[in-house]
Amino acid sequence: MAGTRRVDPHELVAAVTAVREWLVADGEQPPRPVLASAVRLSLRTLEQTAPGHTVEVRVPPFAAVQCVAGPRHTRGTPPNVVETDPRTWLELATGSLAWADAVSAGRVDASGSRADISHWLPLLSV
């Protein structure tokens, strides 16, 4: 996603607000394009907030970004990877789920010495 345009904060809030009912009230899962937009915009925001190439954050099936300053990863499996599902990612991004709770519950797979991205979360509150 490098070289992408900066995320408009209003666009991010709108995208996440569109999935808010699903996140906070366990409502019906939003349509795939709506969910994809919220995940992608929030990941791009993380990429811009914590620029770098040390940690790869993956939220399949929608997107992955590299972020956090430090040694650059160029080939093979990155040494620092965070992977989670869309719901968990958006709960982390909005602050409705704490990083430590998500990791201890097994909702986030974080491997590598620099994979703790809690310093940059939440990205927004809705």
Q: Give the model's pLDDT for residue 2.
A: 47
CA gap 25, 21 in Å, rounded:
5
- Start-to-end C-alpha separation, the chain: 25
Domains, the chain, with CATH or none? 9-120 (3.30.1050.40)
Phi, psi of 45 (to 5 degrees): -65, -45
| pLDDT averaged over 10-residue windows placed end to end, the chain, 126 residues | 74 95 89 98 97 94 94 75 98 96 97 95 89
Looking at residue 4, its pLDDT comes to: 61
Q: Taken in order 83, 44, 96, 16, is the CA torsion positive or negative?
A: negative
Model pTM score: 0.92
The predicted structure's pLDDT at residue 125: 80
Residue among 116, 122, 117 nearest 95 (CA): 122
Half-sphere exposure of 23 (CA within 13 A, CB side): 25
Nearest to 35 by CA among 107, 86, 89, 108: 86
pLDDT at position 3 is: 52
